Amino acid sequence: MRLDSLRVFLDRWLKGKPVVGKAWQWSQQHPRWAAAVLAALLAVVVMVVASFSHGSSVQRDYYKVKRGDFLISVVEGGTLRALNEFSIRSDVETMTKIIGIVPEGTYVHKGELLVSLDASQIKDSLDSQEITVENSRFALVQAEQALVIQKSTVESNIKDYELKLEFARSDLEKYIEGDWPQAKNNAESAITLAAEDLVRAKDKLDWTKKLNEKSYATKADLQADSMAVEQKQVALAQYKEAQLLLLKYTYPKQRRQYEAYVDSWQKDVERLKQRSASQVAQAEADLVSRRRTLALQQERLDELKKQMSLCKIYAPSDGLVVYSSSTGGYSSILIEEGASIRYRQEIIKLPDITQMVIEIRVHESHITKIKPGQTSYVTIDSMPDMRLKGHVHKVAVLPDSSSRYYNPTLKVYVTEVLIDDTLPPELKPGVSGRAEVVITNLLNVLAVPIQAVASIKGEQVCFAGKGTTPRKVAVEVGLYNDKFIEIKSGLKEGDDLLLAPLLEPDEIDLSGSIVAANEYEADRKAGGKKRKPATKGTGTQEKPGATKPPTPLQTLQQPLKELRRAAQPIEAAHATVQLPARELLPAGAPAMTATNLSATPPGSSVPGTKVPATDNKKPVQTP
């Protein structure tokens, strides 16, 4: 009875739903096919749930917090080279040949003979030059007499032109201080007198009008006085116009004319002085040329004598003999006896192997910790059992440009580590080695693996405690190396930490933005303070967002964020089917253990970003 009642109820309820109703009627007509379809759907649901359940069961690795010593250092590989290196070059000005050279690899002392060059051509030139010097002594007397005559002529011409310039300046001063003030005063006086005449004419006209009203003056008198007023007005206007022309045209023209006379004579004087100086200079140059010719011939004689001595090259310091052809590449000339050598060509490199440095390249994430003078330890690849002590000698100011060709985003700084210990005699420049620069040594501190610390919305956290729901603990971090990081507060010794930090789906940042949406909105609303304008000549500017720079921990954890971003579509599928929200790793992501995360190369990360806060929790459909 209950089944029949239920069936009748379903028939009535499905009448208003055509599609579902037809499916229900089909299931009633074909019960076996309906049962098969229902069983298939249940199997698919079970498989989906089982796959998500299997993906959620991630093996967890834990680390027990403990105290201990914590060495902070930077280890990089590099090449050994000499701190001081002399370059032996040929100073003979002509092409010459090597007639003798010390064997390569010989350790020489200061003052020992290194190279002997052919001097036969220099000897022939020396004999010819001695004759040339004697012939240059007879051309000097005539140039001295010509110079005295030229100086006397120039002095008289300059005095004549300077007198004419003085007269032109006097005329200009006379016009500015005498003629022009007089003309100006005359124009002003004429205007003043014309204005007074106009006033008197107007007064007379007013009196004539009054007499005319009383019939004491005729109409002709009134017209005559009116005509007189108009004449006075015209005269006043003419005087004012004359004054305007005087001020606007006559005075500037006359002054500019006198100034042009002064300028013209002044330039004439300058041109005369220049011509005279040129003539005197020519005579002096002729004299100097004769003297210099003799001096040059004498210097050439002395230089040939010096060139004879330069055919013997001696060691300027102790060092190891290295031919330039051994380090110069394919384009270098083979250095050997009989080889032709040009002027300033490098023949031998003489490195001082008693003081050597290892040149390493430090990534930009560590360069702020490297300072000159820091203790360092060096190992040589060919001598792995020997450890040498040194210190940081030099740190480059700018990144190395040679590494940008293969990786434009890679920024490394060339750093030199000077070896302080006594070097073995068999150690040569160019060998490979490794240098460890010690930043500091922390004693008795809490340290955890670096992958156990996560950065969530600008805060460093760890997941402590075993079980299905580890608790999230905010921590304060300190210094770090490639494997461990110092914990200043937030944890205690003996705590169990999850090595793979867990993040909720809304805590995973996929945008790559620098500022969060809520931070930008708060900064925009509180933007009453005006930004300071950028000062010209400086390279700084106010940043639009009040964001904190990425911490070193965020920099090292960036590869871990990239891994979580790759697993985000699977995590979104969990949210779609509304599985229970648990703090587990995204399904399909590899288990983050101390082994695979510690293998992340130091310095391969990019600055970390803050997670933007958002309320849009729309499920992402898996492709």
Residue-wise pLDDT for 266-281, tens only, equals: 888 888 888 988 888 8
CA angle 480, 486, 491 (to 5 degrees): 150
Provide, for the chain, the percentages of residues in helix, strand and coil under a 3-state DSSP scheme, each rounded to the nearest 5. Answer: 45, 20, 35
- Mean per-residue pLDDT, 329-346: 80
Last residue of a domain, one of 302, 330, 363: 302
Q: What pLDDT band is residue 248 in, cutting at 50, 70 and 90?
A: confident
Structural domain includes residue 199: yes
Gap between the Cα atoms of 535 and 524, Å rounded: 23
Model confidence pLDDT, tens digit, residues 49-101: 555 544 444 567 888 898 888 888 899 999 999 988 888 999 898 889 999 99
Q: What pLDDT band is residue 21 in, cutting at 50, 70 and 90?
A: low
Gap between the Cα atoms of 573 and 621, Å rounded: 7
Residues 260 and 321 in one domain: no
Residues 338 and 233 in one domain: no
Q: What is the pLDDT of residue 28?
A: 65
Last residue of a domain, one of 239, 274, 302: 302
302: helix, coil or strand? helix
460, burial (CB in 10 Å: exposed 0-12, middle 13-18, buried 19+): buried
Structural domain includes residue 269: yes
Residues 46 and 190 in one domain: no
Model confidence pLDDT, tens digit, residues 369-378: 899 999 999 9
* Higher per-residue pLDDT: 27 or 430: 430
Structural domain includes residue 273: yes
Q: Which of 36-50, 103-117, 140-154, 451-465 has the highest mean predicted lDDT (pLDDT)?
A: 103-117
Residues 315 and 243 in one domain: no
Gap between the Cα atoms of 145 and 140, Å rounded: 10
Q: What pLDDT band is residue 515 in, cutting at 50, 70 and 90?
A: low
- Mean per-residue pLDDT, 609-617: 36
The CATH number for 116's domain is 2.40.50.100
- Domain with 211 in it: 148-302
- Mean per-residue pLDDT, 24-33: 65
In Å, how far are 20, 99, 479, 499 from 598, measured between CA atoms? 57, 60, 16, 11
Residues 347 and 96: beta-carbon distance below 8 Å: no
Structural domain includes residue 388: no
In Å, how far are 173, 311, 582 from 302, measured between CA atoms? 63, 15, 93
Structural domain includes residue 339: yes
Q: Which two tokens stand for residue 87?
A: 């370059």
Structural domain includes residue 581: no
Residues 192 and 218 in one domain: yes
Average pLDDT, the chain: 76
- Mean per-residue pLDDT, 152-178: 87
Residues 289 and 159 in one domain: yes
Residues 50 and 161 in one domain: no
Q: Which two tokens stand for residue 247?
A: 């001020």
Q: What is the pLDDT of residue 191?
A: 85
286, burial (CB in 10 Å: exposed 0-12, middle 13-18, buried 19+): middle
pLDDT exceeds cutoff 60 at 496: yes
Last residue of a domain, one of 13, 39, 56: 56
pTM of the entire predicted model: 0.49
Structural domain includes residue 488: no
Residues 266 and 213 in one domain: yes
Gap between the Cα atoms of 473 and 104, Å rounded: 65
Residues 97 and 179 in one domain: no
State the total domains in the chain. Answer: 3
Q: What pLDDT band is residue 197 in, cutting at 50, 70 and 90?
A: confident
**H or E element in which residue 425 lies:** none
Residues 111 and 227 in one domain: no
Give 575's Cβ-side CA count (13 Å radius): 17
Q: Which of 330-339, 407-416, 530-539, 614-623 has the highest mean predicted lDDT (pLDDT)?
A: 407-416
The CATH number for 279's domain is 1.10.287
For residue 392, which phi and psi values (nearest 5 degrees)? Answer: -70, 120
Residues 289 and 333 in one domain: no
Residues 185 and 278 in one domain: yes
Model confidence pLDDT, tens digit, residues 566-611: 555 444 444 443 333 333 333 333 333 333 333 333 333 333 333 3
- Mean per-residue pLDDT, 278-301: 89
Structural domain includes residue 173: yes
